[in-house]
Structure 1
């Protein structure tokens, strides 16, 4: 039943100065941040910076880095700045190219070349093929080549003709003619210069026919011998033509190859490849003649002639530059830094490269020129930065990364081949040796999961760089923090901040840290705040950012995100969700919780009720029984049983049956921050002393009755304050918080103003006894020398109720025994 709210006896609420840290602009010796020097390094991250410096300078296998911390803590900024600073003084790594393997075409060969050489070599080979496509056909058009080719053809034609002529003369001497038919050559008898017809041949005498048939059979064998020699002669002719073509091709190829070799004198890899190219070009000189003939046909047909890259016959002589560093070197090839690669999309292909395919005549084809580099190729000899979560999300990327680091080489393999899905013949490029420092960026939980679940993780990523979220609010750190604010404004191209704006930003940084003695060093949210303040300064037509602009940025950000909070508060003020802010009720207390939606958090009160009766000593958590309570919440409720059994009715057995519930709670309940509120409700129900509904409570409790710190204390206080303000502040309303949370207070200005005006109160509580006194307006009571609590105190009433339950339970048990005894005797 509601009654007048109690007054807290002998407990002092916190003063307004304890509720919020205020940064005094008068402590700053500058007018705007234009007068403040920039800061070069991240502040408050000495541990992480030292770890990064060690990791990137340690050139032993396995000493890759994992940067762990929360989003916005400056991990990307720090690693980018430190890597670029170190990389610019390091040597440019070698180029890597793929060239054709003329012996085994499916296994392209990888070549390591000095930096800047790969692109020059590719261009030189392209120019070589372009020149040869003109020079070689031109040589074959010369009169000398035509005459020698004609001589070869005539020599072999004469050789074949002589054999046939000899056979023809021999057959003619025996009146047999060699006749060409659609089916080939045939032999037929002749009379008076004319081939005999079949009926004429049949009219001849039998002995003459038989003689002619025997002659034809003999000559037929001789003709077969001559015809069998024709392919051999033709092969000899082709060999002779090929040798002639090679001789003339050598003239063009030799000079052109020599010119290319001169550009790369002393490079054994290139010289050896040019030797193989020379042999293959001479061997396949007819490719150039065929290309000229096809180009001419296509031009006549109004078709575009294929370019060098599109003609598959010449792609074998091209150079595929996987990694080239021409842009990082000057004409003298002086080093200008190692690569620093940030791969934002670490798929398997983007990490280790891929082999592309082209469609030709309905089929997919590929060759070494379609090999594409991955991030590991581009970062080879330098540094590769990856988002750990993304690497783990993409199929096979994590295993490919570990395999490459473990083997210290990059092997291109398709997912289909790796899984055994595709069994078709494909390319097997040479693996490329790997020398790279990999940096993973992720949160702490991910790091600890990998460290415990993946045995290889610790061997491959030996260096952890742990970034702080906040730093102590010392004078030295504040001086650096002002420089950090100035650096952000200068780096982002924003308006300068006045000193009162800097003070307001620092206050908000304290709020972000959830600790009045610290400030956040998460540069992401801090930069967002300053950029939003710059926007509002521009809207107001100011050239400088003022404290009003910072406050407006804070308010505007809250307003954009607080639709759910407004709906929650509306449901309470309209009595849809039942929350009392005045009066007193037995077994009922206002607990406080924090709700998060995205990056926005707000506090909201919840009604907690307790009911008690005689039972077996069990406190039933309805949230847990309905599977809405989490493990930590259930632990907090179990602690209540320990507190009751160790503080009251020490000589009596537990005889209580109690139920606890969060009223109108339709989602999960987790955490132990409501355990003190639940205990207050239990004590009120047992003592039958009403709790003031003008109070809200937060804090966990241990079995000793000590109230312990919780999280989100600022949002919880403000959540109850907003409800009280909406209904009208009475001057009796307030919140009970753990004493250990006072150091975390950074409340809104309107809350502090209400406290200063005596309209709202914040009570620091160390023990349950202190809290129950504030909530009930009645002394808790301490045990005297006689072991009893003072009469009419809350603890005395609780103990009396528990003792009465124990006595009742004993009486019921005795009665049951009396009734059971006769039945036992009769049975006997």
Structure 2
């Protein structure tokens, strides 16, 4: 479909190039089982997180089974707060009604105990007590008076003393009478104490009757509103009993309140609204929580503390929910690399999935009741971390059975090319950018293919495409153009590279000043221009590296100088060993190969790895053995196997462009070029300048499948001629070695 600009086409609505991931995601979300949590794999920038959140929003509408949660005081065991669950929205109402209830008690109880009716009833009880008490005292006085004693109040209580001060208190009769009077006093005082106890009990009954009258309707209302939950009903029953027992707190005067900690005492009547779905906007949909900082406390909740006289204290009102609590009944999205950085988090996640409960751990001995959880976890991470967890954690596959793998590339076909154009259209609309012309889109498509190093593929790392769109839009603005054209996109790409190519330019300067030696014309024996790629984070570039080989009679075989200097990686070591295998396969059928050969990457000081230079090393080795010179105007990349096949390698685009850059610097002569594996041609996506030079015949690409082809290109001789010279020289080496 040809279009003038992206403004003419429909914006992209669906995920592009991730059909398998979409199917896996749908599958995982439809299964409601504790083991079917999801692991989202893929490179950053493929849109995996955005798609996950978008898809979860669709599923949350059909899954609304979360609850409000409150922590309340446990009247049976103070250090074990109780967790109460409510329907959505009722948790907030319960907290509000409880606060109103306690506030109303202050007013209603004080009003009741200050009322005239209460005073009348109270006075009745007290008057009755005083009357009966007075009767006992009068009888006791009369009894004493008849016997010559009078009743006297002392600091020790009531006692009988003789009326006549001259009475002989030592006589046996007086002592006997005195003892009798003391017994009477004890009995009367005991009776008065009984009257006092009855009076107090009657007062308490009166107060309790009033308390029940005031408290009971409130409790009955709360039970009617929230008592469908047995635990709530049980809590309210314990609350009622405690209030009746301690309601005096509500009508103490200021002086009396000084003797108790009113704030701490009344704390037990508070409600900690732990999870409030209304405030979290989760009324008509399941919660979706993405925790970017998954520390232990952020995931599993905590208790806040305060210092009181140097002592750390906490209580159930200071319990704070974690991401697991907030996502209960819905979905929890976590980045696996962040989880693994935080101690104990991964193991605790598995425990929660196993027990289907989450418990808050505190430092003060407070043991809040565990809350049941129903959470589907979505882990986002790399393929590497998935493999590590799968391999080393036997429980991982038990709980994360669904792998959703986001691909970093997609086929380059008409549908996907149009999909990228639609993405550009939607991105421009959503971010108020200028729309792109058809030619500009084609440059973006080429850039997308370059990101994945294949002209048959397109990148699905749309964050990189988005960066290019934003930067291209800037250059279109500078030109004061209505639309973004191809020159703006090319300018953006060039400037992006130009911002990060400092090292590349410095290396170019070293070639120009001959600090790095290289020849891009003439011929040399045992010398070849290999190609390497240097990675500078986001930016990578290719540059040639001179490989030299020397050979002589001996029995040491092929010596890898880089390895001897401990600058060679394992893969490069393997590549050098393959050279020995090739020599044995092709040149030792009649006689052993008796050589000592040294292979070196000249002016390389930072280490070598990879096998993409094994082809170049072999060609230089064969040149040294045959004493036939190699063309220096042709650079080589490609790995080999022991049978002489040339295998694909990475970074061919950067390698070709790197050698082209040096040739251009030294002077293009129309004969320079690069030998590369034939099957790497689809990975070759060159800058316009390089491609144009190839099209004009100024620079050349030589695709090959066998080493014989490469040797013939590098020497202009048939491989049979080269082979014969190598055999003759090896025979000579053999004779010398004997």
With normalisation by structure 1, the TM-score equals 0.81
Give the SS at the match of 2:293: coil
Separation of aligned partners in 2, 1:297 and 1:96: 35
1:425 paired to 2:398 = no
Over 3 Å counting, the alpha-carbon distance change for 1:170 and 1:722 in structure 2 is: farther
Q: Residue in 2 aligned with 1:396?
A: 344
**Pick aligned residue for 1:83 from 56, 63, 85:** 56
1:711 Cα deviation after fit:
0.6
Give the SS at the match of 1:81: helix
1:54 Cα deviation after fit:
0.6
Structure 1, gaps ≥5 residues long: 1-27, 195-203, 299-305, 415-421, 783-792, 811-828
**RMSD between superposed Cα atoms in Å:** 3.5
1:593 Cα deviation after fit:
1.6
**Pick aligned residue for 1:484 from 423, 432, 435:** 423
Give the SS at the match of 1:342: strand
Q: Is the 8 A contact 1:673 1:698 kept in 2?
A: yes
Separation of aligned partners in 1, 2:614 and 2:577: 9
**Pick aligned residue for 1:779 from 708, 717, 723:** 717
Separation of aligned partners in 1, 2:148 and 2:607: 116
Give the SS at the match of 1:759: coil
Q: Residue in 2 aligned with 1:804?
A: 732
Over 3 Å counting, the alpha-carbon distance change for 1:688 and 1:253 in structure 2 is: same
The 5-angstrom pairing of residues 27-426 of structure 1 reads: 28-150=1-123, 208=170, 239-264=201-226, 269-290=231-252, 293=254, 311-326=263-278, 336-414=284-362, 424-426=364-366
Report 1 or 2 for greater relative contact order, CA contacts < 8 Å, sequence distance ≥ 6.
Answer: 1
1:57 Cα deviation after fit:
0.5
Q: Is the 8 A contact 1:92 1:339 kept in 2?
A: no
Over 3 Å counting, the alpha-carbon distance change for 1:772 and 1:131 in structure 2 is: same
Which moves more between the two structures, 571-580 or 93-102?
571-580
The 5-angstrom pairing of residues 607-686 of structure 1 reads: 607-686=546-625
Shift >6 Å, 4+ stretches: 154-179, 184-194, 209-237, 294-298
User: What is the count of residue pairs matched by the alignment?
Assistant: 736
1:82 Cα deviation after fit:
1.6
Separation of aligned partners in 2, 1:234 and 1:573: 114
Separation of aligned partners in 1, 2:735 and 2:394: 60
**Pick aligned residue for 1:762 from 687, 701, 704:** 701
1:235 Cα deviation after fit:
6.9
Separation of aligned partners in 1, 2:233 and 2:459: 60
Give the SS at the match of 1:314: helix
Which moves more between the two structures, 641-650 or 460-469?
641-650
1:83 Cα deviation after fit:
1.4
1:584 Cα deviation after fit:
3.2
Separation of aligned partners in 2, 1:97 and 1:59: 26
Separation of aligned partners in 2, 1:234 and 1:659: 115
Q: Is the 8 A contact 1:676 1:699 kept in 2?
A: yes
Separation of aligned partners in 2, 1:397 and 1:684: 60
1:602 paired to 2:541 = yes
1:462 Cα deviation after fit:
0.8
1:189 Cα deviation after fit:
8.4
Separation of aligned partners in 2, 1:619 and 1:161: 125
Q: Deviation per CA, 1:122-152, whole angstroms, max 9, x where unpaired?
A: 1111221222222222222223333444555
Q: Residue in 2 aligned with 1:820?
A: none
Q: Deviation per CA, 1:342-373, whole angstroms, max 9, x where unpaired?
A: 22222222222222223333322222222222
Give the SS at the match of 2:265: coil
Q: Is the 8 A contact 2:615 2:639 kept in 1?
A: yes
1:643 Cα deviation after fit:
0.7
Q: Residue in 2 aligned with 1:826?
A: none
Which moves more between the two structures, 700-709 or 796-805?
796-805
Give the SS at the match of 2:71: strand
Q: Deviation per CA, 1:25-75, whole angstroms, max 9, x where unpaired?
A: xxx422221211123221221111011101100123311111111111121
Over 3 Å counting, the alpha-carbon distance change for 1:328 and 1:175 in structure 2 is: closer
Q: Deviation per CA, 1:562-598, whole angstroms, max 9, x where unpaired?
A: 2222223333333333333344333222222222222
Separation of aligned partners in 2, 1:372 and 1:484: 42
1:112 Cα deviation after fit:
2.4
Which moves more between the two structures, 153-162 or 384-393?
153-162
Q: Residue in 2 aligned with 1:467?
A: 406
Q: Is the 8 A contact 2:286 2:329 kept in 1?
A: yes
Q: Residue in 1 aligned with 2:502?
A: 563
1:156 Cα deviation after fit:
6.2
1:534 Cα deviation after fit:
2.0
Separation of aligned partners in 2, 1:64 and 1:100: 35
Q: Is the 8 A contact 1:778 1:794 kept in 2?
A: no
1:472 Cα deviation after fit:
1.5
Separation of aligned partners in 1, 2:185 and 2:452: 105
Over 3 Å counting, the alpha-carbon distance change for 1:161 and 1:538 in structure 2 is: farther
**Pick aligned residue for 2:493 from 533, 551, 554:** 554
Structure 2, gaps ≥5 residues long: none
Q: Is the 8 A contact 1:129 1:314 kept in 2?
A: no
Give the SS at the match of 1:606: strand
Q: Is the 8 A contact 2:148 2:164 kept in 1?
A: no
1:247 Cα deviation after fit:
2.2
Separation of aligned partners in 1, 2:200 and 2:187: 21
Q: Deviation per CA, 1:262-300, whole angstroms, max 9, x where unpaired?
A: 54475655444333322222222022124x6279989xx
Over 3 Å counting, the alpha-carbon distance change for 1:803 and 1:256 in structure 2 is: same
Separation of aligned partners in 2, 1:252 and 1:84: 48
Separation of aligned partners in 2, 1:412 and 1:219: 68
Over 3 Å counting, the alpha-carbon distance change for 1:223 and 1:71 in structure 2 is: farther
Separation of aligned partners in 2, 1:215 and 1:644: 138
1:797 Cα deviation after fit:
2.6
1:223 Cα deviation after fit:
8.2
